[in-house]
Amino acid sequence: MAATSDADRDFIAQAMPAFISEAAEQIEAIEALLLELEEQPDNRELLDSLFRCAHTVKGSAGIFGLSRVVDFTHHVETLLDKMRDGDVALTPDINTLLLQCNDQIKYLVDTALDEAADTQDQKDLRADLIVQLTALSSGTSAVAPTAQTSAPEAADVPSNSGPAVWTISARFGPDTFRNGMDPLSIARYLGGLGNVVAMKCGIDTVPPLVNINPESCYLSFVMELESAASRDDIEGAFSFVMDDCELDVQAPETPGQKLARAIESIPETPRLGDMLVQVGAVTPDKLAQVLSTQEHTAGMPSVPKAKIGDLLEAQAGVPAEAVQAALGKQQKIKEAVTATEERYIRVQADRLDAVINLLGELVIAGAGATMLARESRQINLLEANLHMNSLIEEIRNGTLGLRMVPVGETFSRFRRVVRDTAASLGKEVNFEIVGGDAELDKSMVEKIADPLMHLVRNSLDHGLEPPQERVAAGKSPQGKLVLSAQHETGAILIRIEDDGRGINRDRVLQRAWNKGLIEAGVVPSDDVINMMIFEPGFSTAEQVTNLSGRGVGMDVVKRNIESLRGSIKLLSNPGHGLIVDIRLPLTLAIIDGFMVGVGRSKFVLPLETVVEVIEAAGRNVRVDASGRHCLELRGAMLPVVRLRSLYGVETQHTDRVSVVVVNSDKGQYGIEVEVLLGQQQTVIKPLGRLFKSVRGISGSSILGSGEVALILDVNSLGELVTSTKHHHGVSA
């Protein structure tokens, strides 16, 4: 027995990480569903999905013996069940309560392996939540289901057409006799309310005769009662034994409801008409007639094609409940087929990272083989090497694609942040997510989440005005915040846009003068002024709040984005809003690069930034008033960076130089190089401490020969070109 227990403990220990991971997914789904339900409170499908998620967490926790999770989630599940039955209507207050309960479930799952981490504050909070859940579930809360008080359901009131058949299931507790109650008298009382159509006693709880205790009650029964009584009248018969009885009173079914129940039980049939024929809702001849009518209307260009369900209701008299049940089953069949086709396998992130690291080594080895093949000048070897490189590229694209995930998963987390932050600030916000299906490297998504969170909160706190201030400014009281994503060439653009105040240019400039960031009296461009908010310790807040005001955070946001080889740009329209643009590379691992040489040094440019290459020899070179090296290109002046001057590269001066024209956030400019080494796959390696402070360098790469090439940061170099402070470093 001890060996079995040890085996069970080993199994639980091994499977627990999988449970925590799956539970986290369900908890995220619960939050997303609650936020959707807030906008669509009458959506039954969302409510059913919400119940299934909570039930899944509870059931999985029960397998692992996590009683704290099971007990608390049970209360949540009970309230959700009441909501599904229509006994409790969803209100903003209940939605807030359920979101708080979901936070508590997350806390319990996170501390599942360490019960000692469950603090007294959390226990008190959990107890308070349970009290509120119980009050709502029992109907003693002040929150009233308005839909029921104004229009009671037909199931609670007898039909005008006469008596209906109720199904009553009762299981009495063992102390029923000891408490002086007689179940048979209750059955006789029910018989007085109408006609007992059928009654069946349960024997599953009756022990063997030798073990029967004559003072204990083992009785249970299921009764079908034809009566004009209401639900309250029937439940009133059990009022004195309610504490010792498990009671289930099922409402009478209409013909349509009976057909709907029959449809749920039939085997999967993809066509709606076939389902209705199987349960007898319509005859085959009538179905054929309706289908003929549908085809006839479809041939009329001026008449929209009629839906088969609407025609079956109008022409064949099929109850609406039966049609809706068939449509629902049809949708479930489609979803099941899709789920079967889109099969997934859960892989640990560390294993995937290890594969990508090996892929990087394979790319480097392939580059070395290519170099040797070129030196050998053997045609067969060159062709074989070319085929191998094409396969490596396909493997690279496929493997990196495994780490690509939709950014919408990260964006969805912000719905709760926006909701809670706006409520705490007393602001009304319409939050929109656009382009959530755009994909980004998972490691990038994880690292960009915190900067995005800070920027979203900053828009809510500083950008969007309170309702009264917006109305005074001629705006709608509800602010707008849009989080969007879209692909650009080799990169992804993430945009945070609001219709709030924008950046107060004068206040930022004054604060920059006061802090000595800009020489007093000097007025730089709007772009420079706006970017001041990313300086360490910079803040324009009038007072410190829980969200902002200490000048900590925005500088970290910029630093974290730049560490991902990304860039951030602000576009402010004072009084009308602010746009924050974040550009990120799609992956952190491997890129297509264009390699160039200066002296004995080699540099790599991201291929998607390269526009063209021009021969610079013999062209007119000019130096503008600020000392910037420029080149005339098709009638326009092109700023040029000389890498040998910028980085002090030792080289023999030669007139045969080329200029690589690249695109950056600041526009096009040129990079002067001596040797063009062509396109190749580049494995990005992190920079050492020595190079982290060097402007214009974003990473390094190991070449097939074992040499190290530096990867140029095109956007950072573009800032050097346009900045008057650094012209001496980029000119001749």
pLDDT (0 to 100) of residue 104? 92
DSSP lists the bridge partners of residue 236 as: none
Q: pLDDT, tens digit, for every residue of 29-39?
A: 899 889 888 88
Lowest mean pLDDT of 166-170, 371-375, 389-393, 654-658, name the range.
654-658
How far apart are alpha carbons 656 and 634 in whole angstroms?
20
Flag whether 145 is in a domain: yes
Q: In this structure, what DSSP letter does residue 462 have?
A: I
Flag whether 472 is in a domain: yes
Flag whether 3 is in a domain: no
pLDDT (0 to 100) of residue 297? 63
Give whole-number Cα distances, 312 to 76, 267, 365, in Å. Answer: 40, 21, 67
pLDDT (0 to 100) of residue 87? 83
Residue 602 has pLDDT above 50, yes or no: yes
How far apart are alpha carbons 252 and 678 in whole angstroms?
78
What mean pLDDT comes out for the span 699-727? 75
Flag whether 104 is in a domain: yes
Whether residues 412 and 455 share a domain: the answer is yes
Q: pLDDT, tens digit, for every residue of 302-334?
A: 555 566 666 676 666 777 767 777 777 666 666
How many structural domains is the chain composed of? 6
Helix (H) or strand (E) holding 676: strand 675-683
Residue 162 corresponds to which tokens in the numbers above?
């006469």
Whether residues 141 and 227 share a domain: the answer is no
Q: Give residue 64's pLDDT band: very low, low, confident or very high (50, 70, 90).
A: confident
Does residue 629 contact residue 639 with C-beta atoms inside 8 Å? yes
Flag whether 62 is in a domain: yes
For residue 615, what are the domain limits? 590-730
Tell which residue, 191, 124, 263, has the closest CA to residue 183: 191
Whether residues 470 and 570 share a domain: the answer is yes
Sign of CA dihedral 624, 628, 629, 630: negative
Flag whether 57 is in a domain: yes
Whether residues 139 and 17 share a domain: the answer is yes
What mean pLDDT comes out for the span 632-654? 82
Sign of CA dihedral 686, 690, 695, 700: negative
Q: pLDDT, tens digit, for every residue of 492-539?
A: 889 999 999 888 888 888 888 888 888 888 888 888 888 888 887 776
Q: Can you give the length of the chain in residues?
A: 732
Does residue 244 contact residue 219 with C-beta atoms inside 8 Å? no
Flag whether 631 is in a domain: yes
Sheet containing 590-598, strands listed edge to edge, beginning at the edge strand earlier in sequence: 675-683, 590-598, 601-606, 708-712, 697-702
Does residue 292 contact residue 355 with C-beta atoms inside 8 Å? no
Average pLDDT, the chain: 78
Does residue 98 contact residue 41 with C-beta atoms inside 8 Å? no
How far apart are alpha carbons 502 and 463 in whole angstroms?
6
How far apart are alpha carbons 695 and 691 in whole angstroms?
9
Q: Which of 101, 126, 150 is the last residue of a domain?
A: 150
Residue of higher predicted confidence among 661 and 275: 661
pLDDT (0 to 100) of residue 334? 62
Lowest mean pLDDT of 101-110, 216-225, 558-567, 683-692, name the range.
683-692
Whether residues 425 and 561 share a domain: the answer is yes
Whether residues 413 and 496 share a domain: the answer is yes
Q: Give the global pTM.
A: 0.58
* Amino acid (1-letter code) at residue 612: E
Whether residues 334 and 383 share a domain: the answer is no
What mean pLDDT comes out for the span 673-702? 79
Which residues are within 8 A (CB) of 550 and not within 5 positions of it... i.e. 6 or more apart? 539, 544
Whether residues 442 and 355 share a domain: the answer is no
Q: pLDDT, tens digit, for every residue of 104-120?
A: 999 998 888 777 788 88
Q: In this structure, what DSSP letter does residue 151 have?
A: S
Q: What is the CATH number of the domain that holds 129?
A: 1.20.120.160
Whether residues 410 and 363 share a domain: the answer is no
pLDDT (0 to 100) of residue 303? 52
Helix (H) or strand (E) holding 569: strand 567-573
Flag whether 722 is in a domain: yes
Share of the chain above pLDDT 70, in %: 77
Whether residues 645 and 500 share a domain: the answer is no
Q: Give residue 480's pLDDT band: very low, low, confident or very high (50, 70, 90).
A: very high
Q: pLDDT, tens digit, for every residue of 170-225?
A: 888 888 888 777 888 888 878 888 888 888 888 888 888 888 888 888 888 888 88
Interior CA angle at 400 toward 394 and 405, to 5°?
135
pLDDT (0 to 100) of residue 255? 66
